[in-house]
Amino acid sequence: MRIATYVHEGRRRCGVVEDTVVRPLPDGTSAVEAAYGVRPVGAAVPLADVHLLPPLQPPTLRDFVTFEEHVEGVRRSIDGSGGVPAAWYDAPTFYFTNPYAVIGPHDGVPVPPGSQVLDFELEVAAVIGSEGRDLTPEQARDHIVGYTILNDWSARDLQSREMQVNLGPCKGKDTAATLGPYLVTADELEPYRDTDGFLRLALTAEVNGEVVGKDLLSNMSWTFEEMVAYASRGTVVRPGDVLGSGTCGNGGCLAELWGVRGRQDPPPLKPGDTVTLTVEGLGSTSNTVVAGTNPVPLPTGRRRSRERP
């Protein structure tokens, strides 16, 4: 089942997508609730007549980093280091990013204030359907209700500077995160599962119609079930939580290509550029970069005397 959240004739609705139409669900139904079998009501509406919103507004958004090739390329681009840190292999590392920054599959993406080096990131995200704590990977599969595309937009210049403090990223990842176009229920993707438990989905990234990246989701180093198990260790995951795979390799973002090529080729994104991400079984998102706002001036940190009372 493919579930969309959309605006039609001024009303926000959730519905089931069938071919080129969406069938509305009862008012107040969420995408996660819909994935458990709520029946549509009312007449079908052409998808061409609706504005797609993010399929859900997650209470939390964890972004993992599970593609070895991405880590190697971006590390070289950001700080000039080679290889993959040994600690990366210990566990599927993640950070919490901003759920308030989530935008729809065709919305404009403002340039983050103060940034000149905007990048995209091609990811797939799992969505939690039921609460769990200290889950095993086997248990975690039953807690994943579906999947969607995630584009983790990144201000690389802000990110590279702020991560020198060994905290973050923060404002480098704070302006936009695309989710969509739909929440696709987990059963729809079972035919793509390989013998090792990974989802073998083809991933493609385009900038202004030119393909810049292609990979397979099965090149992840951890499964989504293992990621959910790690996320739930010592805490809870709850319905609507989103867990991003991290950026795929082989051109899943521009920074990886910059690291491999030793130059900013292709160049950073600018207003008017359109990024289209396509994932087999999940659909496509297509967002155009628009001008952002200027940063509100702030002073630099004060050097203090460290006087004590």
At residue 43, does pLDDT exceed 90? yes
Long-range contacts of 7-12 (CB under 8 A, 24+ apart): 7/50, 7/51, 7/53, 8/45, 8/49, 8/50, 8/51, 12/53
Mean pLDDT, rounded, for 199-209: 98
Q: Residue 101: phi, psi to the nearest 5? A: -90, 0
> Rounded distance, CA 62 to CA 240, Å?
11
Distance, first Cα to last Cα, the chain = 64
pLDDT in tens, 134-161: 999 999 999 999 999 999 999 999 998 9
User: In this predicted structure, what is the pLDDT of residue 76?
Assistant: 80
Mean pLDDT of all residues in 61-66: 98
CATH of domain 61-290: 3.90.850.10
Question: What is the reported pTM?
Answer: 0.97
> Considering only CA atoms, which of 45, 54, 42 is closest in space to residue 18?
45
Q: Is the dihedral of CA 70, 75, 80, 83 positive or negative?
A: negative
CA–CA distance, 218 with 172 (Å, rounded to integer): 27
Tell me if the bond preceding 299 is cis, omega within 30° of 0.
no
Are residues 132 and 237 in contact, defined by beta-carbon separation less than 8 angstroms? yes
Q: 4 falls in which pLDDT band (50, 70, 90)?
A: very high
pLDDT tens-digit series, residues 17-29 = 999 999 999 999 9
Domain ranges within the chain, ordered by starting residue: 2-52, 61-290
